Amino acid sequence: MNELLVFVCDGAPVRGEIVSISTAWQAVLERRDDPPAVRHILGDFVGAATLLSASLKFDGTLIIQAQSKGPIQLLVVECKSDLSMRATVKLSVDPSEIAPHASLGELLDAGNSGRLVITLDPSDREPGQPPYQGIVALQEQHGGVIKPVSSAAEAIGLYMQKSEQLETRIWLASNDTHIGGLLLQRMPDSGGHVHLDSQNAAEGWIRIQTLGETITNEELLTLAPETILRRLFLEESTENGVRSFPPRQIRFSCRCSRNKVADVLRMLGEEEVQGILAEQGAVETVCEFCAKPYRFDAVDCLQVFKTDLLSDATRPPSSGH
Ligand SMILES: [Zn+2]
């Protein structure tokens, strides 16, 4: 089950999404060796990335990055508009040093250094045009006291609150085999099929949120989206109408390639690469998202820089070389 279900309510200005990911999540995990507390945070952010990506009218890649000076140095989840995704984590400590139940605050907000960055990179972006990017700190002020956020759902909620016009609620759960999530978004009170007066609209939004709040982690992790929708909104569906669309599929997919690794070698420069060749006999690297190994021996490296020279020849000569 790797499905995302979108639904709309006829009696409330609400658009919702329910996601359930299993084999696509296992495909991420089997390529990695993260400690349990890190897997849990990564899983929640994978769920969030699919929910946010599906909520946007946008063709491109949504990238969630969490960065800190804590044990999790960088966490990246990428989800394309076709709901193909990949994810990685970079730790600054040995995995054995991370406690099994370490919190998001402990792992991602050491010294209030945690940041959440969400980038929308449209597929038709012109070269040189920057992608849209929003950043929030992973802390909240409570009566003058700064507290780190406690979960990925809270971090995403904070982000939405600070950057988005639409009110959004999100629930996330993950374990070693499954990810589940629910997103509720308040749509404009009128327009589309919904025409409600402001009091009915406000009441409807509260009613749907109250129903959403009854969702449990157990349900999110074990039930199909259609079942969750039926259970949670049975009465709403009977009395006011709730309609869902055909479920969308989520899959794991990595976009790494030998050509992209060759580009990285060109950026390192021929001198650096020759140094690695002299020391190790070949340049070996592993994709940080899918763990696919890449090996460039001396002949491959020669080829890499031959191509560079050819493309350089078409450019005006730069000074200093
Ligand atoms: Zn890869």
CA distances from 192 to 237, 247, 256 (A): 18, 21, 40
Residue 212 alpha carbon to ligand 1 centre in Å: 36
Residue 256 alpha carbon to ligand 1 centre in Å: 4
Q: Is the pLDDT of residue 194 over 80?
A: no
Residue 74 alpha carbon to ligand 1 centre in Å: 17
- Look at 199-208, 239-248, 303-312 and tell me which has the smallest mean pLDDT: 303-312
What is the structure's pLDDT at 34?
94
Kindly state the average pLDDT of the residues 30-34. Answer: 93
- What pLDDT, in 10s, does the model give residues 50-85? 999 999 988 999 999 999 999 999 999 999 999 999
Q: Would you call 225 exposed, middle or buried from its count of C-beta atoms within 10 A (0-12, 13-18, 19+)?
A: buried
Q: Which helix (H) or strand (E) holds 220?
A: helix 217-222
Residue 257 alpha carbon to ligand 1 centre in Å: 7
**Residue 257: φ, ψ to 5°:** -155, 165
The span from the CA of 192 to the CA of 14, in Å, is 11
Q: Would you call 61 exposed, middle or buried from its count of C-beta atoms within 10 A (0-12, 13-18, 19+)?
A: buried
**Mode of pairing for the β-strands spanning 84-91 and 251-252:** parallel
User: Are 280 and 298 spatial neighbours (Cβ–Cβ below 8 Å)?
Assistant: no
Residue 47 alpha carbon to ligand 1 centre in Å: 20
Query: Considering only CA atoms, which of 47, 42, 9 is closest in space to residue 250?
Result: 47
Q: Which helix (H) or strand (E) holds 190?
A: strand 190-191
Where residue 321 falls among pLDDT bands split at 50, 70, 90?
very low
Kindly state the average pLDDT of the residues 6-12. Answer: 94
Residue 82 alpha carbon to ligand 1 centre in Å: 18
157 SS3 class: helix
Residue 292 alpha carbon to ligand 1 centre in Å: 6
- What pLDDT, in 10s, does the model give residues 179-189? 999 999 999 87
DSSP string, 51-107: HHHHHS--SEEEEEEEE-SSSEEEEEEEEETTSEEEEEEEESS-GGGS-TT--HHHH
The span from the CA of 163 to the CA of 151, in Å, is 18
What is the structure's pLDDT at 42?
97
Residue 289 alpha carbon to ligand 1 centre in Å: 5
Residue 267 alpha carbon to ligand 1 centre in Å: 19
**270-280 vs 298-313: helix crossing angle, rounded to 10:** 170
Residue 87 alpha carbon to ligand 1 centre in Å: 10
The span from the CA of 234 to the CA of 255, in Å, is 41
Residue 253 alpha carbon to ligand 1 centre in Å: 8
Cα diameter, the chain: 75
Q: Is the pLDDT of residue 87 over 70?
A: yes
Helix and strand element counts for the chain (H, E): 11, 18
Residue 277 alpha carbon to ligand 1 centre in Å: 23
Residue 213 alpha carbon to ligand 1 centre in Å: 37
Residue 190 alpha carbon to ligand 1 centre in Å: 44
- Mean pLDDT across the chain: 91
Residue 168 has a CB neighbour count (10 Å cut-off) of 19
Residue 15 alpha carbon to ligand 1 centre in Å: 34
Q: Which helix (H) or strand (E) holds 262?
A: helix 258-268
Q: Would you call 292 exposed, middle or buried from its count of C-beta atoms within 10 A (0-12, 13-18, 19+)?
A: middle
- What pLDDT, in 10s, does the model give residues 114-160? 999 999 999 998 888 888 999 999 988 888 888 888 899 999 998 98
What is the structure's pLDDT at 193?
58
The larger pLDDT score, comparing residue 315 to residue 100, is at 100
